[in-house]
Structures are given as structure tokens and as C-alpha cells.
A and B are shown apart, each in its own frame.
Chain A
Amino acid sequence: SQQGEEDPQALSIQEGENATMNCSYKTSINNLQWYRQNSGRGLVHLILIRSNEREKHSGRLRVTLDTSKKSSSLLITASRAADTASYFCATDAYYGGATNKLIFGTGTLLAVQP
């Protein structure tokens, strides 16, 4: 499968705690992106990290990328109930065919308990 694998599949934490989600992939990438999806809604872009970057921050989000291990992690600090959602990593790479594609992973369902 071209899809990235996310770990864990589901995560339940208390408000105020940190949440860490991991993504592993199989091929060389241009960039890796993280998206959030609230139940019944479309996906929302959170952050993009290029293959030559190792770490990136955006507000309470911290993303790391290890291309030697083909893995990435998303850290949400000081979580809030509103962070409850599914989180997906997506890799931009050449998977065959005409050009690069953005392929999504399997997702992590995060539940933040108030």
C-alpha cells in the first residue's frame, strides 16, 4: 500500500496533556503534511514540512521529520477539548504515474477529555 501508517490508531488524553502521533511512510518524499478532520467535516491543513527540514512549529503544534527512518511525529501541546478530531499525515512523493501525488495515511483519532 502507498499509504502511510499512523500510530496510534486512537488516543485518549485529558485536557492539558500533550498528544503525540506518529507517521511512517515507505518512499522518498518532497514534503509531509498534517491535516485535521473534525467529525463529518472536510480536512483542514495544519502544517507542511519539507524533506530538508527536521522540525517545524506552528502555535501548539510541533512536527518532526526523520527521512532516514521515514517517519514523522506531530506533537500537540496543552491539548484542549476542541482538539478532538482525526489527524492524518500525507506524503507528497512520486508513486508512479505522471507526476507526484499527495497520499494520505490511515489517521489517528484523538479524543481530549475535558
Chain B
Amino acid sequence: DAGVIQSPRHEVTEMGQEVTLRCKPISGHNSLFWYRQTMMRGLELLIYFNNNVPIDDSGMPEDRFSAKMPNASFSTLKIQPSEPRDSAVYFCASSPAYKGTYTGELFFGEGSRLTVL
């Protein structure tokens, strides 16, 4: 079975450029989460969707970040313009069991490692 698929796995870009990270969740999962991992701040929840609808984006660091989920099989996280402090590993995860008041097991992708020079 295919797991959560993220692309690109690695991205190196220059400050000011637009970055788009992509995620394909596991088929049948009703929720999707974007996390960011850095040494300094650990794993941070950026935004999550339930049935393609954004539920909480309070973790998105600033207006330069945006996320969309146009359908049940695809989500994007966009950073425009990118800055060196955005360098991190960005993880997408999906879950079959999110119910608004209960979060079950998350299935993570392998991550997208972003380096902004």
C-alpha cells in the first residue's frame, strides 16, 4: 500500500523565491496535517484539514505561508517569499480517525527538507 507521498524530498532555493511543497495523503483518510521540524523548535503543527476543509491554521508562522487542499488526494504548502529561517523539514501526515475532538494515529510522509540560502 502506498503511504503518504511528499515531494520534493529536498529543495534548495534562494531567499525571496517561492517554494511549493506537495502531499498526497493515504486514500480514504479524512484528515491531513502539516508539521515543521527544526532542531530549535522541534515538531510544530502548522495547519490541519478535515474533509479538505482547513480547521486550524493558527500554527502557520506568518502570511508568507499558505496551504490548500483542493481535493481529498492532494495538498500544497506554499511559502512566498521564502526566508533562511524557513529552512526545516516539512512533514505531511494523514489520519483516518480525526473527529474534531479526537485525533487518532497519524501516518507521516518522509518529509521535504527545505534549505533557503
Interface residues, chain A, with chain B CB atoms under 8 Å away: 3, 30-31, 33, 35, 41-45, 48, 88, 92, 96-107
Given A33-B106, A42-B93, A100-B102: 20 more A-B contacts, CB < 8 Å:
A30-B103, A31-B104, A35-B106, A42-B108, A42-B109, A43-B43, A43-B91, A43-B93, A43-B106, A45-B105, A48-B105, A96-B58, A99-B55, A99-B101, A100-B100, A100-B101, A101-B48, A101-B56, A104-B42, A104-B43
Verify if B107 is at the interface (C-beta below 8 Å from A).
yes
Query: Measured between alpha carbons, how far is A103 from B48 in the docked complex, in Å?
Result: 12
Interface residues, chain B, with chain A CB atoms under 8 Å away: 4, 33, 35, 42-43, 45, 48, 55-56, 58, 91, 93, 100-111
B45-A103 in contact (CB<8A): yes
Task: Indicate which residue in B33, B42, B107 contacts A107 across the interface (CB closer than 8 Å).
Answer: B42
Q: Which 10 residue pairs spanning A and B have beta carbons closest together?
A: A42-B108, A104-B43, A92-B103, A102-B103, A43-B108, A45-B105, A97-B56, A98-B56, A99-B100, A42-B110
Q: Which residues of A contact B56 (CB under 8 A)?
A: 97-99, 101
Knowing A42-B111, A97-B58, the reply to whether A102 touches B106 (Cβ < 8 A) is: yes
Q: Which residues of B contact A33 (CB under 8 A)?
A: 105-106
